[in-house]
């Protein structure tokens, strides 16, 4: 699994979470750096969390996503992919039931 350097991870997250924003407040800058760290610099995890948080400007929701990521339970796999699965679990938990079924079909066929 490929890991991103800090600056590349930051750029990737910024692109997905703040695509249309002109700037980021200090409150969000602090939390998104923690989210990137909690994702373990895994590109797909960063993309998924950034996409999930896009257009959400409620800091408490961001903090909740970070808490879920840090306290998540590994779905399947070993320690190597734990952060990836935790990220997918957060995204999955917030989908509508119909979309959850499509998600499961996609990943687990």
Q: Which CATH number characterizes residue 37's domain?
A: 1.10.8
Residue range of the domain that includes 83? 6-108
Q: What is the pLDDT of residues 8-43, one digit of tens each?
A: 999 999 998 987 666 677 888 889 889 888 887 788
Specify if 36 maps to a domain. yes
Give the ranges where 1-109 is alpha helix by DSSP (H). 6-17, 26-38, 43-53, 59-71, 82-93, 97-108
Query: If we measure between CA atoms, which residue out of 43, 58, 39, 49 comes closest to residue 17?
Result: 49
Q: Is residue 1 in some structural domain?
A: no
pLDDT in tens, 55-98: 888 899 898 888 877 776 444 444 446 666 777 777 777 777 77
Counting the structural domains of the chain, the total is 1
Distance CA 109, CA 105 (A): 4
Would residue 84 count as lying in a domain?
yes
Question: Using an 8 Å Cβ cutoff, are 80 and 1 in contact?
Answer: yes
């Amino acid at each position: 699994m490929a890991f991103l350097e800090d600056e590349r991870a930051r750029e990737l997250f910024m692109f997905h979470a703040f695509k249309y924003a002109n700037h980021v407040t200090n409150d969000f800058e602090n939390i998104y750096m923690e989210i990137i760290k909690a994702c373990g610099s895994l590109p797909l995890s960063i993309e998924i969390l950034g996409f999930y948080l896009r257009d959400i400007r409620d800091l408490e929701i961001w903090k909740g996503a970070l808490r879920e990521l840090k306290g998540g339970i590994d779905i399947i796999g070993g320690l190597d992919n734990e952060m990836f699965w935790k990220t997918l679990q957060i995204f999955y938990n917030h989908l509508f039931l119909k979309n959850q079924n499509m998600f499961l079909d996609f990943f687990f066929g």
